[in-house]
């Protein structure tokens, strides 16, 4: 009876590895609005770094 108890305890869910959750850092986003050909662009080349993103607007 004692051997069965040990085997049951060793099969707990806590032994399973943590799933890997990789995240992607988006550094550039461009939006084009038609009609009018208005372009909105945001760039943050250092990702989560200390520099703020640059935002540009061009078009009519």
User: Please, are residues 58 and 39 in contact by the beta-carbon 8 Å criterion?
Assistant: yes
The pLDDT score that the predictor gives to residue 23 is 84
Residue 11, in any domain of the structure: no
Residue 32, in any domain of the structure: yes
Handedness of CA 31, 37, 38, 44 (dihedral sign): positive
The pLDDT score that the predictor gives to residue 12 is 54
Residue 48, in any domain of the structure: yes
| Domain assignment of residue 40, given as a range | 25-60
Residue 55, in any domain of the structure: yes
pTM of the predicted structure, to 2 decimals: 0.54
Q: What is the pLDDT of residues 6-48, one digit of tens each?
A: 555 555 556 678 888 888 888 999 999 998 899 999 999 998 8
Number of compact structural domains in the chain: 1
Residue 12, in any domain of the structure: no
The pLDDT score that the predictor gives to residue 14 is 61
The pLDDT score that the predictor gives to residue 48 is 82
Residue 3, in any domain of the structure: no
Residue 59, in any domain of the structure: yes
The pLDDT score that the predictor gives to residue 50 is 92
The pLDDT score that the predictor gives to residue 1 is 52
């Amino acid at each position: 009876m004692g051997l069965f108890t040990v085997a049951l305890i060793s099969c707990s869910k806590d032994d399973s590895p943590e799933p890997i959750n990789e995240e992607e850092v988006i550094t550039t986003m461009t939006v084009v609005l038609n009609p009018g050909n208005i372009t909105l662009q945001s760039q943050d080349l250092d990702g989560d770094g200390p520099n703020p993103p640059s935002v540009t607007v061009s078009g009519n």
